[in-house]
Structure 1
Amino acid sequence: MASAAEQLAANMNYGAFQKATDLHKRLWFTLGALLVYRMGTYIPIPGIDPAAFAQAFNGQAKGILGMFNMFSGGAVSRMAVFSLNVMPYISASIIVQLMGTMYSPWEKLRKEGGEAGRKTLNQYTRYLTVVLALVQSFGISQALLHTGGHLVAQEPVFFTITTMATLTGGTLFLMWLGEQMTTRGVGNGTSLIIFAGIVAQLPMAIWQMFTLTRTGEMNGFAMFAIFAMAVGVVLFIVFMERSQRRLLVQYPKRQVGNRMYGGDSSFLPLKINTAGVIPPIFASSLLLLPATVMGFLATAHLPPWAQWLPSAVGQLQHGKPLFMLLYGAMIIFFTFFYTSIVFNPEETAENLRKYGGFLPGIRPGKRTADYMDFVLTRLTVIGAAYITVVCLVPEALTSFYNMPALGGTSILITVTVTMDTVTQIQSHLLSHQYEGLIKKSRGKGGAGGMRPRVAAR
């Protein structure tokens, strides 16, 4: 007869085998979806000359188009069907979140609607994604038509319609693909799509560094310093993203009949970086927008009173002192702003009060909410400083070397998405290991575990 240790080992191996099969399927589905996404970034929209557009894109690479090109894995530089990527969907999600805190009907759906309310808000997000994608694709078509006739080989009206349909359809397909990856794959699908676009640009950035070193524009020590800085920034991001302040939550004891229930304690974790990667993305978009608009305008035809605009806008590019100053200030602002949207101390304190939980030494209700707000504010100060340092250190290198692909935003997104994906993989392994163990033990204990004892009697 097998010992208890042997049975436990067999049960754990059984659960691991079952989980490995399911996890393999999820991983293969995720890789296949990312492969489909990468293929779409090389398919140009109808009616565009890819070679002529690539040449014209080089003059706009330092504006907002360069940032979108980084997030889309080079799709913007090729004007592919996935040029908009999932940025309209992300913008729509943020707008719906903001409206969910300010618009009373949506706030009621978010708080009291449950699963049905969440599905309704998700549907509103999809509708808003379509609207934003149509507006952005229309703007892109008009910019291409007015930039130069050599870029477009179709009639203006027909080109506008096909461009809007193609780019909007590409965004909706990526939105659907991201949802499928989240449900049937591993990790958050939308985040993985952005992650894949950034990682796809990494080999080109490394090749640029080696090219600059070979031509003498960058010495070997500088290249080594950049790699060392990248490793240090990654380790710093991992440490800060794992850091959290745990507030002790105590639940009172209650007597039901002759038994005592409750008296348990748990922790309310507060992350240092509650806002995530939203602040640097918003700050970059707003700062690079004037440079992009100025690039599409004919500066030679500006009125006399506006002749200072090109030189002023030129200071709002990567590596410029004014850009770095405003970039850091806006990151701090959006960190506090988005944290206040994501975490509501009053709502959290009210939920704790409803379930009988309390913070030791602090009265439930308003006192608890004030204490949470005090702790969260101090954590947000540290988080804002952390994000600002991570994003500005690579920008300082940009002022000396032409390395736009090593932006702090891209490093932050890459590390955080990798950490979240690895955590989900570990959760899948652990949960299925326990499920296999419980199923196996129930099968043996229920069918054959009790019968020998009854027979012995």
Structure 2
Amino acid sequence: MKKYLKDYEYKILYKRIIFTCWILLIYIFGTHIPAITTVRTYTAISNFYKMTAANVGGDYQALNVFSLGLGPWLTAMIFMTLFYYRDSDRMMKQTRREKSTKERIFTLILALIQAYFVVFTLLSHVKIDHSEKWLIILVLVTGAMILVWLSDLNMRFGIAGPMPIVMISIIRSIMRQNVALSELGPTLLISAALVLIIILLVLIFIEITEYRLPYLDVMDVSSRREHTYLAWKLNPGGSIAIMISFAAFFVLNSAVNLIVQFFNSKNNGVLNFLDFSTPIGITIFLILQLVLSYGISRLILDPKRKAKDFKKNGDFFPGVEPGKPTYHYLIHKARRISWIGAFIVTIIIGIPLYATLLIPQFSKEIYLSV
């Protein structure tokens, strides 16, 4: 019986691997189907946008059926998760179909905005009718929704959901960058490696560091008193805040250009101030990163719910009365922790981005390190 179960598990694993391979073959085949074949696309989108798109399965090197990748879907899922974070009971009551329908509608809206920006950016130099551009937008949005459907199928019948698609896209992006490390020189290479190691150690320190708030547990009646404390991470937002910041900045860029195109149809170019090649664009992104990182950290810490739990359990902090004083105490601590984590992450991301303005010839290498 044990041998039969073991063989059965292996058969299921093989089937999942084969199914994932078929999904990847479809994805690779789709990336070779151009959305437009008559003209070459314009490279107005920066290398950083191209790398960011590759991290979610997209491809802005040339317009193809799957150029949008999984960006709209992943962004929609993250925002929906954060939206329901405070009201988890409401989310639990919803069926899988209801949650999936809301995700798909939000994904469709984001895909339309992103496709509009990509098409009117990459094809800004091409004299084609608006009807043709809207047809290309329809192809891109359709491809994005098909990719979402394939990822959902792989999540149920394959392995690792959307991650195999993302990994293939990242590998392709790295191979396309043609990073000229030999031009950096040994001194600069060693300095860059040391900086990356220091940043990595700082990130690990932030990840494992906890801010502990000791409190008294009234239910602990044991003779041996152990210290009880509320542990909060120094960077509660983690990588979610960074992902949302990039997605929000890209959506902001797309929305601004969409509005400009709508009110000024003669302007076929793209606004450059919301770009990583300008100090204004980098500054706006870093401000967005700081604010979103702080807000997401506050949302995850949720001092209001913690204060209710303390009041319900009868626990209290030394020198702090239960009820509103405990809530205000937790609010104060949550603000301090959230701002510290947000500032550290913003500085780590901001320094290399500003460095690209000083040495633009190595922008690809710096973007890749980020």
Indicate the TM-score class for this superposition, using the shorter chain for normalisation. 0.7 to 0.9
Please tell me whether residue 168 in structure 1 is matched to residue 160 in structure 2: no
Please tell me whether residue 210 in structure 1 is matched to residue 181 in structure 2: yes
Number of the residue aligned with 1:337: 295
Please tell me whether residue 293 in structure 1 is matched to residue 293 in structure 2: no
The structure that has the greater radius of gyration is 1
Match of 1:128 among 87, 93, 105: 105
Contact 1:89–1:126, Cα closer than 8 Å, also in 2: yes
Map 1:27-426 → 2, pairs under 5 A: 33=20, 36-37=23-24, 40-41=27-28, 43-44=30-31, 46=33, 48-49=35-36, 52-53=39-40, 56-62=41-47, 65-66=49-50, 68-72=52-56, 75-97=59-81, 99-100=83-84, 110-113=87-90, 115-117=92-94, 119=96, 122-123=99-100, 125-132=102-109, 135-136=112-113, 139=116, 143=120, 148=126, 161-177=138-154, 185=160, 197-198=169-170, 201-202=173-174, 204-205=176-177, 207-210=178-181, 213=183, 218-253=184-219, 266-285=228-247, 290=253, 293=257, 313-399=271-357, 400=359, 401-404=361-364, 406-407=366-367, 411=370
Aligned CA-pair RMSD: 4.8
Contact 1:345–1:372, Cα closer than 8 Å, also in 2: yes
Letter in 2 for 1:338: I
Gap regions ≥5 residues in structure 2: none
1:157 to 1:392, Cα distance in 2 relative to 1, 3 A: closer
Contact 1:252–1:264, Cα closer than 8 Å, also in 2: no
Contact 1:245–1:270, Cα closer than 8 Å, also in 2: yes
Deviation at 1:220, TM superposition (A): 3.3
Q: Distance in 2 between matches of 1:343 and 1:201?
A: 36
Q: TM-score, normalised by structure 2?
A: 0.72
1:315 to 1:254, Cα distance in 2 relative to 1, 3 A: closer
Deviation at 1:383, TM superposition (A): 0.7
Q: 2:230 is paired with a residue of what secondary structure?
A: strand
Q: 1:75 is paired with a residue of what secondary structure?
A: coil
Number of the residue aligned with 1:428: none
Q: 1:246 is paired with a residue of what secondary structure?
A: strand
Q: Which range is displaced more, 353-362 or 221-230?
A: 353-362
Q: Among the aligned pairs, what percent are the same residue?
A: 14
1:221 to 1:405, Cα distance in 2 relative to 1, 3 A: closer
1:69 to 1:90, Cα distance in 2 relative to 1, 3 A: closer
Contact 1:283–1:330, Cα closer than 8 Å, also in 2: yes
Greater share of helix? 1
Q: Distance in 1 between matches of 2:185 and 2:317?
A: 56
1:61 to 1:236, Cα distance in 2 relative to 1, 3 A: same
Superimposed CA distance per residue, residues 19-51 of structure 1 (whole angstroms, 9 cap, x where no aligned partner): 9x989x989968984994587256237553469
- With a CA cutoff of 8 Å and minimum separation of 6, indicate the structure with the bigger relative contact order: 1
Deviation at 1:140, TM superposition (A): 6.2
Letter in 1 for 2:69: N
Count of aligned pairs: 356
Contact 1:209–1:223, Cα closer than 8 Å, also in 2: no
Contact 1:274–1:339, Cα closer than 8 Å, also in 2: yes
Letter in 2 for 1:70: A
Deviation at 1:350, TM superposition (A): 0.9
Letter in 1 for 2:257: V
Q: Distance in 2 between matches of 1:111 and 1:377?
A: 23
Q: Distance in 2 between matches of 1:281 and 1:406?
A: 18
1:81 to 1:398, Cα distance in 2 relative to 1, 3 A: same
1:243 to 1:37, Cα distance in 2 relative to 1, 3 A: farther
Q: Distance in 2 between matches of 1:111 and 1:253?
A: 27
Deviation at 1:391, TM superposition (A): 0.6
1:32 to 1:52, Cα distance in 2 relative to 1, 3 A: farther
Q: Distance in 2 between matches of 1:384 and 1:224?
A: 28
Q: Distance in 1 between matches of 2:227 and 2:210?
A: 18
Q: Distance in 2 between matches of 1:331 and 1:62?
A: 19
Gap regions ≥5 residues in structure 1: 1-17, 102-106, 304-308, 412-457
Q: Distance in 2 between matches of 1:375 and 1:329?
A: 22
Contact 1:249–1:267, Cα closer than 8 Å, also in 2: yes
Q: Distance in 2 between matches of 1:226 and 1:378?
A: 31
Q: Distance in 2 between matches of 1:196 and 1:46?
A: 17
Deviation at 1:353, TM superposition (A): 2.9
1:263 to 1:321, Cα distance in 2 relative to 1, 3 A: same
Q: Distance in 1 between matches of 2:280 and 2:196?
A: 24
Deviation at 1:269, TM superposition (A): 2.3
Letter in 2 for 1:58: T
